[in-house]
C-alpha cells in the first residue's frame, strides 16, 4: 500500500511538508459535467444559458475562479497558493449539457490538482444554483482530474 502523505508517523493528520521541494511549473486540468433536463435546455440563447438570475455560464466562470483561489480555505491540508493562471471554459456538448474545464497553473513546490477540481466543482454548483428554480432534475456528473504536470510525475488520464 502506498503511504498516505497527509498522515504522520504517529497516524495523525498533517499538512505535507514541501519546504525541501524544488519550485517547478505545476499545472492541472479538471473537468465536470452538468446534465440538464429538457426544461432547462430551452433557456439557451446562443452559447449562454440565461435565467432570471442572469447569464449562468458567465457567473459560473467567475465563481469557479474565485473558488480555485480559495481552495486552501475549504480543504484542510491544502497549501495557500498564489495561482498564476486559472482558466475556466464552459461549453454545451452535443447532448445540450454543460462541459466545464478548469485549468490552473503556477510555479511552486506543490501541485494545483485540488484547485482545478475545486474550480470545476464550484462552477458546476453555481450552474445548479442558478437553474434550480427551473428544475431540480440536473445531475452534476464526472468531476475528474484529466491532466497534471510538474513535480514528481506528469499524469494524463
Q: Give all domains of the chain, ordered by start, each with its CATH number.
A: 30-150 (3.30.70.640)
Tell me, what's the pLDDT at 2? Answer: 55
- Give the chain's radius of gyration (CA, Å): 17
pTM above 0.85, yes or no: yes
Grid cell at residue 118: 475545486
State the burial class of residue 130 (Cβ atoms within 10 Å of its Cβ: 0-12, 13-18, 19+).
buried
pLDDT for res 1: 43
Catalytic residues: 129
Rounded Cα–Cα distance for residues 105 and 87 (Å): 9
Per-residue model confidence (pLDDT) at position 46:
86
Distance in angstroms (rounded) separating the CA atoms of residues 31 and 144: 6
What is the number of alpha carbons within 13 Å of residue 61 lying toward its C-beta?
Answer: 14
Cell of 67: 473558488
Q: How far apart are CA 126 and CA 82, in angstroms?
A: 23
Residue 26's DSSP bridge partners are: 106
Q: DSSP states of 34-45 as a string?
A: EEPPHHHHTTEE
Where the chain has pLDDT below 50, the residues are 1
Amino acid at each position: 500500500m502506498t503511504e498516505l502523505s497527509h498522515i504522520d508517523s504517529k497516524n495523525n493528520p498533517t499538512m505535507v511538508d514541501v519546504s525541501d521541494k524544488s519550485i517547478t511549473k505545476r499545472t492541472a486540468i479538471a473537468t465536470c459535467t452538468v446534465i440538464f433536463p429538457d426544461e432547462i435546455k430551452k433557456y439557451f440563447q446562443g452559447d449562454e444559458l440565461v435565467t432570471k438570475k442572469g447569464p449562468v455560464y458567465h457567473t459560473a466562470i467567475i465563481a469557479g475562479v474565485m473558488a480555485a483561489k480559495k481552495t486552501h480555505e475549504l480543504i484542510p491540508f491544502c497549501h495557500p497558493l498564489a495561482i498564476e493562471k486559472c482558466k475556466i471554459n464552459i461549453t454545451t456538448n452535443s447532448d445540450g449539457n454543460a462541459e466545464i474545464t478548469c485549468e490552473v497553473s503556477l510555479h511552486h513546490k506543490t501541485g494545483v490538482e485540488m484547485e482545478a477540481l475545486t474550480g470545476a466543482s464550484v462552477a458546476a454548483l453555481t450552474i445548479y444554483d442558478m437553474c434550480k428554480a427551473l428544475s431540480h432534475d440536473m445531475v452534476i456528473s464526472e468531476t475528474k482530474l484529466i491532466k497534471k504536470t510538474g513535480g514528481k510525475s506528469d499524469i494524463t488520464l
